[in-house]
Amino acid sequence: MQESIKNRISMSLLTHLLLFFLLFSLCNCADRLGEFCNKDNNLTSGQTLADIDHVLAELVAKAPFSGFATASYGNEKERVYGLVQCREDVSKQDCQKCTADAANQTRQLCANQAEARIWFDFCFLRYGTQNFIGELDTGFGIFYWNVENVTDPEAFDMKLGALMDRVRAQAVVPANRGLGKEKTNLSPFVILYGLVQCTGDLPQLSCAQCFAIAISNFPKFCQYKKGCRVLYSSCYVRYELYPFFFPLDSGESVVGVSSWAAVYP
């Protein structure tokens, strides 16, 4: 009986791992935005490495169904915890591809670390040996901003502030699963787009706190800039003067710009 259970577990893990590597071979995701490898938490055993691979395989298998997944594996002293969050507006296929790419790249970039995080435009993934599930985390952030300034700073700031207030209010409504997105006209020909999202494990209050911390960085990194992104482990905040989220209106297309600067505090 016990042998049969072990065989079923082994076959299930093998299936997840095969799916994991198959998805990686098919993936054509956007460039990664950044990563964090905790060099203070080095791998100390082959068992931890095996547990990480098990958690990653489970996250890759589960993520496309809801866009968010957590997993844990191992004994209590060396247990590995993992989380993946796709942007709620992207398709299941894009979520699947992004998650597979994120899992593979963390294992390559952070091969000797037991804690890692990676950010893409469409998804975020992390794992570690401390249980971080449900905890607000803004200890490490990545900030991107467009190097070009807007032409009417005062009017822009007023519109941006109102837009951020609206998308934050949307995101903390349980039915919206941590996502808020909207656009507003700056002029007859210029539209401002905004999006915020929390990871699915955060309670409402922590989600709101994460947004407040992220947006408080706008004056320091992004004041009067045409675009800005703040990436934390618990939330993601972005605004642009071009469409970047789905669904697109008729005639719109997702575009990118090359004039960006970034900082990893």
DSSP characters for 56-106? HHHHHHHHHHHSEEEEEES-SSS-EEEEEEE-TTS-HHHHHHHHHHHHHHH
14 and 112 housed in the same domain: yes
**Residue 227 near residue 239, CB atoms below 8 Å:** yes
255 and 223 housed in the same domain: yes
107 and 180 housed in the same domain: no
Last residue of some domain: 96, 128, 160?
128
CATH code, 232: 3.30.430.20
118 within some domain? yes
**Residue 221 near residue 231, CB atoms below 8 Å:** no
pLDDT per position as a tens digit, 126-182: 999 999 999 999 999 999 999 999 999 999 999 999 999 999 999 999 999 999 999
Domain span at residue 159?
A: 142-263
pLDDT band at 258 (very low <50, low <70, confident <90, very high): very low
- What pLDDT was estimated at residue 31? 78
136 within some domain? no
Which single residue is written with the structure tokens 């703040």?
Answer: 230
Report the domain count for the chain: 2
184 within some domain? yes
176 within some domain? yes
6 and 93 housed in the same domain: yes
25 and 54 housed in the same domain: yes
57 and 150 housed in the same domain: no
DSSP-assigned states of every residue in the chain: -HHHHHHHHHHHHHHHHHHHHHHHHH--PPPEEEEEE-TTSB---HHHHHHHHHHHHHHHHHHHHHSEEEEEES-SSS-EEEEEEE-TTS-HHHHHHHHHHHHHHHHHHTTTBS-EEEEESSEEEEEESS--TT----SS-EEEEESSBPS-HHHHHHHHHHHHHHHHHHHTSGGGTTEEEEEEEEETTEEEEEEEEE-TT--HHHHHHHHHHHHTTIIIIITTBS-EEEE-SSEEEEEESS--SSSPPTT------S-EEEE--
155 and 237 housed in the same domain: yes
134 within some domain? no
98 and 213 housed in the same domain: no
89 and 24 housed in the same domain: yes
- What pLDDT was estimated at residue 30? 56
46 and 160 housed in the same domain: no
137 within some domain? no
pLDDT per position as a tens digit, 238-249: 999 999 999 987
- What pLDDT was estimated at residue 108? 95
Last residue of some domain: 71, 95, 128?
128
- What pLDDT was estimated at residue 256? 57
97 and 176 housed in the same domain: no
133 within some domain? no
Last residue of some domain: 128, 154, 185?
128
135 within some domain? no
The model's pTM is 0.86
15 and 116 housed in the same domain: yes
Q: Bigger pLDDT: 211 or 30? A: 211
pLDDT per position as a tens digit, 13-50: 333 433 333 333 333 445 799 999 999 989 878 999 99
- What pLDDT was estimated at residue 248? 83
Phi-psi region of 149 (alpha: psi -120 to 50; beta: other; left: phi over 0): beta
